[in-house]
């Protein structure tokens, strides 16, 4: 189960992949006043 994520300034982007199931999920979160 390989998972990875990237932090961008005041945001969070995570891409989770399960190649054995041919499935991927993307989570995007933002924080701050903008």
pLDDT tens digits for range 1-34: 576 665 556 777 789 999 999 999 999 887 766 5
Q: Which entry of 8, 31, 33, 34 is annotated as an active-site residue?
A: 31
Q: Which entry of 12, 14, 16, 17 is annotated as an active-site residue?
A: 16
Q: Which entry of 3, 5, 11, 27 is annotated as an active-site residue?
A: 11
- So what's the pLDDT on residue 31? 77
- So what's the pLDDT on residue 34? 56
20 is an active site residue: no
pTM over 0.95, yes/no = no
Written in H, E and C, the secondary structure of 1-34 is CCEEEEEECCEEEEEEEEHHHCEEEEEEEECCCC
11 is an active site residue: yes
- Tell me how far apart the alpha carbons of residues 31 and 23 are, in angstroms, rounded to a whole number: 27
- So what's the pLDDT on residue 30? 79
For the beta sheet containing 11-18, the strands, ordered from the edge strand earlier in sequence to the opposite edge, are 3-8, 11-18, 23-30
């Amino acid at each position: 189960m390989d998972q990875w994520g990237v932090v961008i300034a005041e945001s969070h982007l995570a891409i989770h992949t399960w190649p054995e199931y041919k499935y991927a999920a993307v989570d995007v979160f933002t924080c701050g006043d903008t």
